[in-house]
Amino acid sequence: MEQPTKIILPTRKETLVDVVRNKIMETIIQGDVSEESVLTEGNLVQQFGVSKATVREALVHLCSENILKSMPRYGYVLVRMGDKECEDINQFRFFLEAESLKKAFDQIGEKELAELRELLRQHQESDASKVWDIWKKNIEFHSLLVSFCHNQVCVEYLQRAMQRQSIYFGQFRWTGSNTFDDHLNADPHNDIYQSMCKRDLEQTLELLHKDIFWKGMRA
C-alpha cells in the first residue's frame, strides 16, 4: 500500500506585507497596543518606513483575521478576545490535535520523532525572549504534531486558530498578569515528545490536554 505524501509545513518567503503584519502583531502581543489604542495608516507608515499601500494591505489581513476592526475616518482598533471565545478555541484545538494524533500515532516512527526532536532543539537553542517569538514557536510545535496525520487543511485551521488566540496573551500584558510569562517554557512540549517516544498514546493525549488547557487559558 502506497504511503501518503508527507505534508511539508509552509515555508514560503515572507512578503513585505507579511513582515509588517507580523510586526503589528508583535506590538500587540508585547503590550504596546491596548484596547484604547487607535492604529492609523499614517503612523504605521512612519513607524515601519514602508508605503501606505503595504500598511493598508497588512491591516486588511489583520481585519480579516478578526484581530483588528476598521473604524472609517478614525483608524483601526483591537478586537478584544473574551474568555468564552478562548475556551472555544481551546476545545477546537484539542479535538483537532487529539484526533490527528490518534489517526497518525501508529505511523509515527523515528523519522517523525527526529523532526520533533530537532524542532525542540532549535527552540531551546534560539534566543527568543519576546512573547510573540515564543508563541510562534508554540504554533510551530503543534503544527508539526498535526502534520503527521497528512492533512494540510487541519494544519492550516490550527494555525489560524492559534494566530487568533495570540490576542488573548496580549490581554494578559494589559492587565499586568504574569500567568502567561510563567507558562512560556519548553517543558510541556518536551513531556509530550518523551511520551510519544514511549508509544503511550493515552499519556500523550493527557499531556496535550494539559498543555492546551493550562490554568491561564481557561474561562
**Residue 87 · residue 219 · CB < 8 Å:** yes
The residue among 51, 62, 49 whose CA lies nearest residue 18 is 62
Q: Which domains does the chain have, with CATH numbers?
A: 16-78 (1.10.10.10), 83-217 (1.20.120.530)
Cell numbers placing 198: 514511549
**Residue 41 · residue 4 · CB < 8 Å:** no
* pLDDT at residue 9 in the model: 45
* pLDDT at residue 164 in the model: 81
Phi, psi of 66 (to 5 degrees): 65, 30
Rounded to an integer, what distance in angstroms lies between the CA atom of residue 35 and that of residue 122? Answer: 34
- This prediction's pTM: 0.73
**Is residue 199 left, alpha or beta, with left meaning phi > 0 and alpha meaning psi from -120 to 50?**
left
Average pLDDT over residues 144-162: 94
Least confident residue range of 17-21, 41-45, 122-126: 122-126
pLDDT in tens, 166-203: 777 665 554 444 444 445 555 889 999 999 999 999 99
Average pLDDT over residues 120-132: 76
Cell numbers placing 106: 501508529
**Residue 44 · residue 24 · CB < 8 Å:** yes
Rounded to an integer, what distance in angstroms lies between the CA atom of residue 128 and that of residue 147? Answer: 24
